[in-house]
Amino acid sequence: MYNFLQKFHSGWAYLALLLLLVAVVNAIIGVTSKKEFTAKDRKIALFALIGTHTQLLIGLILYFVSPLGKAAFGQMSNAELRLTSLEHPLINLIAIILITIGWSKHKKLINSEAKFKTFAIFYGLGLLLILSRIPWNLWF
């Protein structure tokens, strides 16, 4: 089960990152072109939200069923173990919280530009945080 979850978490990450990138680019285009916020724009942001939350759920399950989980916890002197046991989960959790805040804030806004700006800022910060803590050596 662990191997399946690990591969699924790695594979789903590509989809989640793609969805998040599309949402951020769409929001930036929306702000710069001053276009009207439509249902299509809402769905793009919603799919990115769902993709990242699914990735979080898979990651949390993986974190607790991992054979390295308890052994790696507290190993702060080893940079690789620190990344996978502390930095990656913590920073990505913060990133997904920011994405969720962006989704929640957009619902209260009426102005299209403000909605796009909210998505650009919160989803963009989330994307940057996620990209900063991906264990790239395990991907390539």
Q: How far apart are CA 18 and CA 122, in angstroms?
A: 16
Contacts of residue 3, defined as CB under 8 A and 6 or more positions apart, other chains included, come to none
* Assigned token pair, 93: 């959790």
Q: How far apart are CA 48 and CA 113, in angstroms?
A: 19
How many CB atoms lie under 10 A from the CB of residue 95?
24
Q: What pLDDT does 140 receive?
A: 58
Per-residue pLDDT of 114-127, as tens digits, reads 999 999 999 999 99
The stretch 62-81 carries a mean pLDDT of 72
The stretch 84-103 carries a mean pLDDT of 92
Q: Which of 78-82, 86-90, 109-113 has the highest mean pLDDT?
A: 109-113
Q: Which residue has the higher pLDDT, 121 or 65?
A: 121
Going by the DSSP 8-state scheme, the letter that residue 58 receives in this structure is H
When mean pLDDT is compared across 16-30, 75-89, 125-139, the lowest value belongs to 75-89
Q: Which of 103, 97, 95, 104 is nearest to 125 (CA)?
A: 95
On whether the pTM is more than 0.75, the answer is: yes
Q: What pLDDT does 69 receive?
A: 62
Supply the mean pLDDT for the chain.
90
Is the confidence at residue 129, as pLDDT, over 90? yes
The stretch 47-69 carries a mean pLDDT of 89
